[in-house]
Structure 1
Amino acid sequence: MARLDPPAPKFKVAPTMADVARVAGVSAMTVSRALREDGSVSKATRARVLEVIDDLGYVPDQAAGALSSGRSGLVGMIAPSFTSAMHGQVARGLNATLTKAGLQLFIGFADFQEEREEQALEALLRRRPEAVVLSGGRHTAKVTRMLANAAVPVVEFFCSPEAPMQHVVAVDLRGAGRLAAERLAARGRRSLVVLGESDGFDVATQERARGACDEAARRGLPEPTMICGAGAVTPIDFGAHVVAEMLTRRPDVDGVICFNDGVAIGVIAGLRRLGRRVPDDVAVIGFGDHEVGRHLDPALTTIGFNAPALGVEVGKVLLSAFEAVRGSEEAKPYRLSLGVELVGRDSA
């Protein structure tokens, strides 16, 4: 049987609007109007234009459209880490809400570094987003200035900042720390450690540590020790390798509160490697209620919250803000804090 070569591409470079117009037998202006669903273009002509666009694989220049219409259709999200499943769940809920409104979510990552957040935001603002979503907490003066000058809705999520820029959809992180310490104290644990992923940019760890310290003080326990590591390290690796430092700094540790479930998984592995039993010798609590933790041995006790619902709420805030702008109204600052719950299993 003779070999059939794949068809040669129609264009050696990306097709342009002029190419679409030539193949469809219309003007470039008609193509532009067809894409905007302008009523001056007949249904038959628009159908023909869309058929040619699909055939050629033409992708409209979104940046050019944003310049002419003032709308890009893009919402930018800057997450603190790409290694955390929680942020992916938040993005999923946000994306589902935005997609229904014809908007597209773009995501960048700060890697728990202030300068990376600046760089990600600069790259995002060049694409003229209609709104920006970023983790609440600590930001540089440059980030604050860029967002103020961008004049678009801003939502800070997860952490509740001391001085919000506009809207906030957060999680009760201090309450999460209290719940974790309460669980450990109820199991007779007295020497507690709080593990975080970054000691500078990560307000979330600090909030949970405050909650744990408050609960420990209320119960007359020693103040928990906080140990943080670099955000660039994956949570599981950090958890596995920080155990040696933890045992050196707090040899009598019998309860560990982790930044997320990934860190907790690594801690359990590290403790086992060094001959410590979980939970007999050391109890471990995670955060996020990731599905993997349910299938560990021992199954992971964790603090859970509805991450997709947080993303949905962020999306609702943005759609409300867009509606206010279209009505020439000022969107009132929105504040919401999602509750957390203890998910008790075998590790603590």
Structure 2
Amino acid sequence: MWLSAWYRGRWWTWLLVPVSWLFRGLARARKFYLQNLAPQRNKRPAPAVPIVVVGNITLGGTGKTPLLIALAQRLMAEGWRPGIISRGYGGRGGDYPLAVETSTSAAVAGDEPVLIARATGCPVVVGADRRAALKRLLADYPCDLVLSDDGLQHYQLPRDIEIVVVDGRRGLGNGHCLPAGPLREPPARLRSADWVVINGEIATPLVAAPVPMRLVPRHFCNLASGARRALNDLGDWRQVRAVAGIGHPERFFDTLRQLGLTVSEHRFADHHRYRTEDLQFPADQPLLMTSKDAVKCRELATVSDNWWYLEVAAELPERFYLAFDQQIRRHRSRLATDRTEVQRR
């Protein structure tokens, strides 16, 4: 209800604008304290490596996770050894910071960290305290660069580069901060980010030089067998059922329709923990889901061999990757110089 109201401009959200102003002021004060007065400000655990935060300023899905996966895969192809830290929303592991393996259950670590670990093969550590997660990651793994999945507002976390992802279809909603709108921080926050990535087309430009991104469907993958099905080989899928427990389910359902499918939608809350009774549908109809939902449903897939997830990839312009590579190399050189100067003292 709230997301719909914020992004569709319901009149009653204006009643909350005074509270939104208060939230905005508190957010600004919190940021100032954490960046300038907090005891642990600007302290990095050793070794000092470039830290890239990939986040957003809105509630609801923006395409942040596919972007982070694409960045990690590109960095590895260029010889970097990235490690990843994440909050681990939806996980209930209890023992944090927690190292995520490809075999780790999403119920323990959260859906997004497990998806990232399986898609990239990178070391992933989760925890609400991202500084503690960062410290463990650098202590346990030979990383020369860190990607933070979300954490833009976690100002205790040092960072060298900020990438903010915005959903092009929904933009910034009504432009108000919580609770009158979907913003965690004011729109002006975009100007201080190094990169603003727009997922899809956007009607009104938000910054001078945004980076365009699009999510491209690749194929369907069977949860039980791992078999793949090409997007041009869906002729016998007349009607399908689709579940989505993500921040912006409409994008997923629309993608399925663009592939020529007739879709019966079943929506769940973001990070929903699926149970068998949630997925009791006729066996003769394919059940489709996102890759994020698939990491939570894989253990339930024994009841059917007709469950599939859509694998997508984030595509960004080559000029972005080239500029990003130069940027992180500059930060690596700067950190190495700083480390040398400290050792000489």
Structure 2 length-normalised TM: 0.42
Structure 1 length-normalised TM: 0.41
| Greater gyration radius | 1
- Structure of higher RCO (CA pairs closer than 8 Å, 6+ residues apart): 2
